Amino acid sequence: MAALLKKFGGLPVLALVVLAIYPFAPVVDWALEAATGQALHIDRQLVNIFIFSILALALNLQVGQAGLLQLGIAAFFAVGAFTTGVLTVEKYPFQIGFWGAILISPLAGAIGGFLLGAPTLRLRGDYLAIVTLGFGEVMRIVLLNLENITDGPRGLNPVPAPWLPTLVRDAMSPAGDASIGTLRAMYFLALIVLAATVVCLKLLERSRIGRAFVALREDELAASCMGIEPARIKLAAFTGGAALAALAGCFYATNLTTTAEPNTYDFNYSIMVLCCLIIGGLGSIRGALLGAALLLGFDNVISPLLTRLLQTALGGESTHVMASFSNWRWIVFGTALVVMMRLRPEGLWPSSPQAEELHESAGEA
Amino acid sequence: MAAPLLNVDKLTLRFGGLTAVSEVDLRVEEGEIAAVIGPNGAGKTSLFNAITGIYEPTSGEVQLDGHDLREPMRPGLLLRWVLTGLGVGLIGLLTASNVDSLWAASIKSQDPNAFSVARALHDGAGFMAAQPRVDLRMGKLFVTSFDGQTTFAVVKTPELAAAALNDAEKRLANPQTDDDKATAARTSAALRVRFGAFLAGLLLGFLAARAVWQRTRRTPTSVALRGVARTFQNIRLFHNMTVIENVLVASDRHLRAQAKLSDPGRLTAILAPTALLGLTAILAIVVRKAALDAAEALPIGILASLLLGLLAWLIIVKRRGAFSGASLNQERAARAEAIELLKFVGLEHRIRDLARNLPYGEQRRLEIARALATRPRLLLLDEPAAGMNPSETVSLMHLIRAIRDRGMTVLLIEHHMRVVMGISDRITVLVHGKRIAEGTPDEIRQNPAVIEAYLGADGEH
Amino acid sequence: MLDTVLQQLLIGLTNGMVFALVALGYTMVYGILEFINFAHGDVFMLSAFVSLTLVGALGLNDQSSAGALAGGLVLCIVASSVFGGLLNLTIDRVVYKPLRKAPKLAPLVSAIGVSFILQNVGLFWGGMSMQIFGGGGQAAAPKAFPNLLPATNLLGASSHVTLQPKDVLVIGASLVVMSALYGIVQFTKLGKAMRATAQDPSAARLMGIDVDQVVSATFLIGGALGGFASVIYSLYINTVHYQMGYQNGLYAFTAAVVGGIGNIPGAVLGGLLLGLVRAFSDQFIGAQWQPAVLFGILIVILVFRPAGLLGSTAREKV
């Protein structure tokens, strides 16, 4: 069995095949519906997980692979979402649709990343943390304040669904239900982009730049004495990560049909993404995917469930702040960060070299 | 006489009140093995760090082949600073001109009369500052001055707004009443503020770019790229990489240096996405102008430009073999070179091991191989024999001679007197950051100052 | 115009003092351990909740007698400072200490985690069913801190510049505390040990300095400064909110970086500078752009002086 799996590309390919079939045969949905009597729509959750995974991979490129402590990834996510908004909503003359936006929003993200990175990436790591954190705040404030452009707290909407050739659209929509067709289109688009991202990042890991990343993480001074230019490599990673985050933002806005309010993209959001990297394993691509799934799973499945349990235990509709489990999420995430750093700094599913790096240093303690 | 390969001229290095290196002169001729010796704390490693760009010397010069090791000032840099300045200036301009309302007036407005591009181009920013604009507020059209402080008219229909706009423009262009004059003056004041913001940004960007360049004129990277490689006293390998990867990291840089920007491969890598985006944008505009369904045409456009890009890639890149194929070839060549180097230092049996699993002596050899992979002209070795047993020391001496025989110049710091005396052509002695002697091994052995300050006090390690 | 400038100078100075006090906590820890204690801002926030709870429990308000007010204020300051110091110390002992030799990322990420836990605690604290917390119904809402000092203008009612007793209190108390800190760092044995440890922890250890004790003292003092700052901040701004730690912590850390992180006078200078810039940008650019202006200045300063205004460029040892 294991040999058979290996022959056809191993776990990643298997996962891809299962995910590609899933919307047409949502077995888990059926089983859960039979058990609880409630429809769960796991494919809808999966779209969110795919998009969030792209974002997590973007941050992983910057923090995990290039070793840049970026605490404002949400800003670039927002750049992607709002670029998509401006380029597609009816209010503006552009209206280039999803397909145009998906090309231009990563470009906008890359420009943003380059402009922020160029003057600051030569700074020490800690300073970069504070600069990116600040940039995240600034971006949120700017989006909130430029009301004429971004519609302020309301956000830009409606962001149109991607155009599809009639043939594809019909194939996607069972019994002519267009909303399911759109959902499935987003599902497959996000899945394809996620798979392509994973492949590209894997290739990058094995390339010269990937080698330079490892060298810089291990010993920046020695690496620069060997002719590697830290600032340039870091800038490339930072710009690339920003572009990827903006791409995720484009998907996010399209899937949500709105850019959402700028306050969505706050510091907490950035940390949530970082959190899923830490849980999954910093620098590990599979870890980032696992982390994204766990985190969104917690938010969308476990948290409502626990809230219901809490409410039942308290006997009815308590309005107290502690009675809703969603108010506990930062304690949960915070504790997760602290505990992970203490007990398993390499994350739940690390890639092997990173595990060695982190373990070695922890072992010296 | 030709300039020496390395010429250190009156180099001084001060940390706060402590002078680590004081007015040291050092000359290394091409093809020789030179050594720097001296007791602990004499400033030898500091000297190496100053040469390789890790420390910025307090004063003095380091020349390689008669040229200063600092990156020279080029006219291209000036252009880069100016461009940075222009970029920051633009941001300043946008900030000061209230990009929000500019956007509202020019892009968002549904009324084509609210902003005419032809006239805006005609007399530029001045026009924009004095431009009345139309705002839709609570269902009514407000015709206001650009800064929104004067309201010329409040009307209901776009036609009336267009007329009011024309009227307001005429009044501002030829102000009669005090109110009009004040509005015109205010908008020109706003213009001055914007110009000021632009200038301030320009200056700031220029100076910032210059400051960053000043700080990075001499970096370890730039020195390494000029052909000076080094090893470290306290071995600094990439411990979690394999032996061959350690060497490959160092050889990567000249692979990249070979791929110039003008190479077709790189050019395509830049041009193809740009062309693709441009084409998409053009298509988007054309499609909109032709009142077609944008959504229907765009994917076709994207597909077309993707195909075009692929075609260009096939024609230019594949034929010249500069991009993907060549990069594979380069990788293969680099691997072959790395294996050759590892054989040269005697580590061919260790290629796939992790660097940190090597014994001490082999780690030192790997560090030398890594430094050699940068194809240096000058190799600096910081205590290469430290911690080695006698037989390892002997083979190290052979290795250093072999390196010299490959056409490289070697400068080493060493405490191990047998190594220093055995292989050096010339020796420089540092004590307390000062050079007290220089000469051949025999001269140094007989130099009374050296014997007193160094050999007598410190002896052989 | 002159009045406006003077007024903004005053506002900037008072705000800057608060920033400086919080920034000191960041900079002292950074100076010794080289890590950003992200949770410091939230220690500040929780200390403010302590004094708000105290004020509520004692029933203090603007009608209380002068004696009760003075006693209550002193109690608040002491309680908040002690709480802040002990909380900071506990966090260090429980969370950061086991990670001393881990890669730099580990304590930083842990600190972010602690910061979130503390923020969540603040949210729950705001849900307390006390009168002063609004009965507990709106846990996330900002809480009003009663205006305990008279709102009279010390420069006379006719003056265009307003100088209230609370301004004097903020500036005066901050100066006293900062001078005390300076005295401790400069002249006591502990202070000398702190400076030595900041310069080279392993050398300090060889010299017989108990580095663990120095670190504990640093966290204690830094937390106490934060607690003290929280009281005067609450008195001055009259609002307490569970997210105020994040916002003010961010500004304070920026101040520390601007002044040169690890440098104690630098933190004060950076705090004052940031306070002034903030006041003037609020007046002349618009309060909604405050973070944008402050971080813009941070980037500019870091480009021209990467080590901050008073920091020295330390190079890595090779």
Return the closest-CA partner of residue B243 out of B366, B158, B147, B371.
B366
CA dihedral A270, A272, A276, A278 (to 10 degrees): 70
Contact A184/A196 with Cβ under 8 angstroms?
no
The rounded distance, in Å, linking the Cα atoms of B409 and A282 is 42
**φ/ψ of residue B37, rounded to 5:** -125, 170
Running DSSP on this structure, what letter comes out for residue C240? Answer: E
Contact call for B208 and C318, based on CB within 8 A? no
pLDDT above 60 for C82: yes
Please name the residues in contact with A163: beta carbons below 8 A apart, sequence gap of 6 or more.
A97, A98, A99, B295, B296, B298, B299
Q: Confidence band (pLDDT; 50, 70, 90) for B95?
A: confident
Please name the chains neighbouring C, where neighbouring means 3+ C-beta pairs under 8 angstroms: A, B
Q: How many CB atoms lie within 10 A of CB B291?
A: 7
More confident residue, B246 or A11: B246
**Cα atoms in the 13 Å half-sphere on the side-chain side of B460:** 7
The rounded distance, in Å, linking the Cα atoms of C25 and C227 is 10
The rounded distance, in Å, linking the Cα atoms of B446 and B428 is 14
Q: Which of residues 157-216 of A touch B (CB under 8 A)?
A: 160, 163, 165, 208, 211-212, 214-215
| Regions of chain A short of the pLDDT cut 50 | 360-365
Q: Where is average pLDDT lowest: B38-52, C127-141, C223-237, C239-253?
A: C127-141
CA angle B213, B219, B223 (to 5 degrees): 125
**Mean pLDDT, chain C, whole residue set:** 88
Nearest chain B Cα distance for residue A308, angstroms: 44
B122 residue type, one letter: H
Q: C110 to chain A: which residues are within 8 Å by CB?
A: 337-338, 341-342
Q: For A309-342, write each residue's pLDDT tens digit.
A: 888 887 766 677 777 787 888 899 899 999 999 9
C285 touches chain B (CB under 8 A): no
The rounded distance, in Å, linking the Cα atoms of B42 and B432 is 4
The label of the residue with tokens 């990042």 reads A201
Q: What pLDDT is stored for residue C139 in this prediction?
A: 78
pLDDT above 90 for B396: yes
Q: B211 to chain C: which residues are within 8 Å by CB?
A: 303-304
Return the closest-CA partner of residue A153 out of A268, A71, A265.
A265
Tokens representing A5 are 């799996």
In chain A, which residue's Cα lies nearest the Cα of C112? A334
Contact A314/A90 with Cβ under 8 angstroms?
no
A115 touches chain C (CB under 8 A): no
Q: Which of B16, B45, B211 lies nearest to residue C304, judging by beta carbons? A: B211
DSSP per residue, A187-199? HHHHHHHHHHHHH
Q: Which of A134, A282, A322 lies nearest to residue C295, judging by beta carbons? A: A134
Q: What pLDDT is stored for residue C45 in this prediction?
A: 95
Q: Which of C303, C315, C318 lies nearest to residue B211, judging by beta carbons? A: C303
Most confident of the following: A50-64, B34-48, B115-129: A50-64
Q: What is the pTM of this model?
A: 0.86
C317 touches chain B (CB under 8 A): no
Number of A/B CB contacts below 8 angstroms equals: 138
B52 touches chain C (CB under 8 A): no
DSSP per residue, B239-251? TTSBHHHHHHHHH
- CA B368, distance to chain mean position in Å, is 26
**Mean pLDDT, chain B, whole residue set:** 79
Mean pLDDT, residues C206-217? 90
B269 touches chain C (CB under 8 A): no
Where would I find the beta strands (DSSP E) of A98-235? Answer: none
Contact call for C116 and A337, based on CB within 8 A? yes
Q: C318 to chain B: which residues are within 8 Å by CB?
A: 45, 49, 54, 232-233
Contact B430/B24 with Cβ under 8 angstroms?
yes
pLDDT above 60 for B315: no
Tokens representing C104 are 């730099």
CA angle B105, B108, B112 (to 5 degrees): 70
* Helix, strand, or coil (residue B426): strand
Mean pLDDT, residues C245-251? 89
In chain B, which residue's Cα lies nearest the Cα of A106? B277
Mean pLDDT, residues B432-455? 85
C189 touches chain B (CB under 8 A): no
**Cα atoms in the 13 Å half-sphere on the side-chain side of A125:** 17
* Helix, strand, or coil (residue B185): helix
* Peptide bond between residue B75 and the one before it cis (omega within 30 degrees of 0): no
CA angle A283, A286, A287 (to 5 degrees): 60
Q: For B201-244, write each residue's pLDDT tens digit.
A: 999 999 999 988 888 888 898 899 889 999 999 999 999 899 99
The rounded distance, in Å, linking the Cα atoms of A91 and C63 is 55
Q: Which of A144, A319, A361 lies nearest to residue C103, judging by beta carbons? A: A361
Return the closest-CA partner of residue A208 out of A228, A238, A231.
A228
Percent of chain C with pLDDT over 70: 97
In chain C, which residue's Cα lies nearest the Cα of B47? C318
Q: B52 to chain A: which residues are within 8 Å by CB?
A: 225
Contact B142/B154 with Cβ under 8 angstroms?
yes
Tokens representing B20 are 């680590």
A225 touches chain B (CB under 8 A): yes
The label of the residue with tokens 């407005």 reads B109
In residues, how long is chain A?
A: 365
Q: Where is average pLDDT lowest: A254-263, B184-193, C60-69, C300-309?
A: B184-193
B268 touches chain C (CB under 8 A): no
DSSP per residue, A78-123? HHHHHHHHHHHSTTSS---HHHHHHHHHHHHHHHHHHHHHHHHTTS
Q: How many CB atoms lie within 10 A of CB A323?
A: 17
**Domain residue limits, chain B:** 79-199
More confident residue, A348 or B274: A348
* Helix, strand, or coil (residue B428): strand
pLDDT above 70 for C220: yes
Contact B86/B202 with Cβ under 8 angstroms?
yes
The rounded distance, in Å, linking the Cα atoms of B138 and A220 is 59
Contact call for A219 and B238, based on CB within 8 A? yes
Contact call for B240 and A214, based on CB within 8 A? yes
Contact call for B100 and A221, based on CB within 8 A? no
C299 touches chain B (CB under 8 A): no
In chain B, which residue's Cα lies nearest the Cα of A122? B212
Maximum Cα–Cα distance for chain B, whole Å?
A: 104
Interface test with C, best of A73, A121, A127, A295 (most C CBs within 10 A): A127
C64 residue type, one letter: S
Contact call for A163 and B371, based on CB within 8 A? no
Tokens representing C158 are 């006719």
Q: List strands edge to edge, sheet with B67-68.
A: B18-28, B6-15, B59-64, B67-68
Rg of the Cα atoms in chain A: 21
The rounded distance, in Å, linking the Cα atoms of B74 and B217 is 12
Q: What pLDDT is stored for residue A102 in this prediction?
A: 87
The rounded distance, in Å, linking the Cα atoms of B300 and B280 is 10
Contact call for C304 and B49, based on CB within 8 A? no
A361 touches chain B (CB under 8 A): no
Q: Which of residues 137-196 of C touch A (CB under 8 A)?
A: 137, 139-140
A343 touches chain C (CB under 8 A): no
- b/e sequence B118-135, b meaning 16+ C-beta within 10 Å: eeeeeeeeebbbbbbbbb
The rounded distance, in Å, linking the Cα atoms of A139 and C24 is 27
Tokens representing B49 are 């760090």
Please name the residues in contact with B62: beta carbons below 8 A apart, sequence gap of 6 or more.
B6, B7, B8, B9, B11, B50, B51, B68, B69
C5 touches chain A (CB under 8 A): no
The rounded distance, in Å, linking the Cα atoms of C307 and B146 is 43
Tokens representing A196 are 């392509």
Q: For B343-378, write each residue's pLDDT tens digit.
A: 999 999 999 899 999 998 899 999 999 999 999 999
Mean pLDDT, residues C192-221? 89
pLDDT above 90 for B272: no
Contact B284/A96 with Cβ under 8 angstroms?
yes
A336 residue type, one letter: A
The rounded distance, in Å, linking the Cα atoms of B35 and A255 is 67
Running DSSP on this structure, what letter comes out for residue C316? Answer: P
Q: What pLDDT is stored for residue B423 in this prediction?
A: 93
DSSP per residue, B341-378? HHHHHT-GGGTTSBGGGS-HHHHHHHHHHHHHTT--SE
Contact call for C318 and B49, based on CB within 8 A? yes
The rounded distance, in Å, linking the Cα atoms of B327 and C19 is 53
Contact call for C315 and B54, based on CB within 8 A? yes
In residues, how long is chain B?
A: 461
pLDDT above 60 for B317: no
Return the closest-CA partner of residue A221 out of C317, B374, B70, B228.
C317
State the residue range of the domain holding C207.
2-123+162-304
Q: What pLDDT is stored for residue B279 in this prediction?
A: 64
End-to-end CA distance of chain A: 41
Q: Which of A96, A122, A214 lies nearest to residue B238, judging by beta carbons? A: A214
Please name the chains neighbouring A, where neighbouring means 3+ C-beta pairs under 8 angstroms: B, C
Q: Which of residues 229-288 of C touch A (CB under 8 A)?
A: 246, 250, 253-254, 257, 261, 288
What ipTM goes with this model?
A: 0.87
Contact call for C303 and B55, based on CB within 8 A? no
Q: B54 to chain C: which residues are within 8 Å by CB?
A: 315-316, 318
Measured between alpha carbons, how far is residue A35 from residues A46, A56, A89, A124 in Å?
Answer: 21, 33, 42, 54
Contact call for B212 and C303, based on CB within 8 A? yes
Q: Which of C304, C306, C315 lies nearest to residue B55, judging by beta carbons? A: C315
Q: What pLDDT is stored for residue B122 in this prediction?
A: 44
Please name the residues in contact with C153: beta carbons below 8 A apart, sequence gap of 6 or more.
C159, C162, C163, C164
Q: What pLDDT is stored for residue B112 in this prediction?
A: 45
Contact call for C300 and B204, based on CB within 8 A? yes
Return the closest-CA partner of residue C222 out of C94, C95, C33.
C33
Contact B399/B368 with Cβ under 8 angstroms?
yes
Q: How many CB atoms lie within 10 A of CB A294?
A: 18
Give a yes or no: residue C150 inside a domain.
no
A146 touches chain B (CB under 8 A): yes
Number of A/C CB contacts below 8 angstroms equals: 144
Query: In chain C, how many domains are there?
Result: 1
Q: What pLDDT is stored for residue B314 in this prediction?
A: 53
**B382 - beta bridge partners?**
B413
What CATH number is associated with residue C193?
1.10.3470
Q: Which of B54, B207, B211 lies nearest to residue C318, judging by beta carbons? A: B54
* Helix, strand, or coil (residue A211): helix
Q: For C279-291, write each residue's pLDDT tens digit.
A: 999 888 888 888 8
